[in-house]
Each structure stands twice: as C-alpha cells, then as structure tokens.
Amino acid sequence: MNDDMTPRLGLPTIRPGQAQKESSHNEALTQLDLLMHANAVSLGLNTPPSAPVSGQAWVVGSMPAGDWSGHADALAGWTDGGWRFAAPIPGMTVWIEEAADFARYSDGSWILGELRGSKVVIAGNDVLGPRRAGIPIASGGSIIDVEARETLVEILAALRGHGLIAS
C-alpha cells in the first residue's frame, strides 16, 4: 500500500492538485462495485474465462495463469476496462454462484460452505449452542424401563439445552 490507496481495500484516493481526478474516483467506484455484496461465478479457477461479461467475478485459484498471474486467491472482476483484482482479507465473504453457497477467507485460504459462530438464535431464542456431552447408550441391567427412562431424560435435557425443544 501507499499514500495513494486506502489501507484496507486498496481503493485509489484523490490527491490535492491531481489532474483527471475522475479517473481515481471511477476506479474506486469500480473496486467498490466488485467488493460490495461480493459474488463470484466460481471458486478456485486458475485460468481466466474466455468470454467474461462485465460485472462477473471469480475467486482466483492458488496457481493462476494468464491475466490472473500474481493474483492467487484474489477476487477477479471483469469490467469494460479489463480485469480488476481485490486481494482477500481475513473474514471476507463471497457468494459462489456455482456452489450456491458462501466462501469465507480465513487463515490464508477460502473455505466453502462452512459457517462459524458460538450459537444460532432464531426469533430471540437460542436454538443451537456449543456441543453438549454425549448421551450414554443404555446397556445391561435387569430393569430395562429404568435405563430407558434415564436415557430419555438425558436426550430431553440435551434437546432442551440446545434450544430445540422448550423446557
């Protein structure tokens, strides 16, 4: 990065006294168009498509070739002015049309279809939380009914603990 670019997204800035300010402004808008609510045709393609349409984007693979050389893992968008690239930053999320799923950039790579969080809340109710301990399988014993009842109590406690059923 340099003083002519924003630190996070690398958008061009306008300098005092700069000629053709509209060029920097238009380039910044083009980059924002690529990054805002990002979506891509596919994930991990290494060779640029032969007939891209303006506005389409791809997440570049780890061994890019051709016009994509030097842009591994970047979001590559085709514009009327050619390819534009956005380097991924941790937490960046892109909708992948081909997979009908989200990909998230984390620890130096794209992860497809994996959601992370501490819990799922629906309509203000905790529905899923951290995994609880396993429920032991009833075995042996002369009074099957007591063991079955204990197992059912544990199943119900686990379901309630995860918010899947009411208490």
Which among 90, 94, 91 has a CA at the least distance from the CA of 76? 94
Which among 103, 59, 48, 53 has a CA at the least distance from the CA of 79? 53
d(CA 41, CA 19): 36
d(CA 9, CA 7): 6
Give the type of residue at 92.
M
In tens digits, the chain (167 residues) has pLDDT values of: 466 767 766 767 777 777 777 776 777 777 777 778 899 999 999 999 999 998 899 999 999 999 999 999 999 999 888 999 999 999 999 999 999 999 999 999 999 999 888 888 888 887 777 777 776 666 666 666 777 888 888 888 888 887 777 77
Domain boundaries, the chain: 37-112, 120-161
Label each residue of 72-134 as H, E or C.
Answer: CCCEEEEECCEEEEECCCCCCEEEECCCCEEEEEECCEEEECCCCCCCEEECCEEEECCCCCC
Q: Is the pTM of this model over 0.85?
A: no
d(CA 149, CA 22): 74
HSE at residue 66, side-chain half, CA atoms within 13 A, is 10
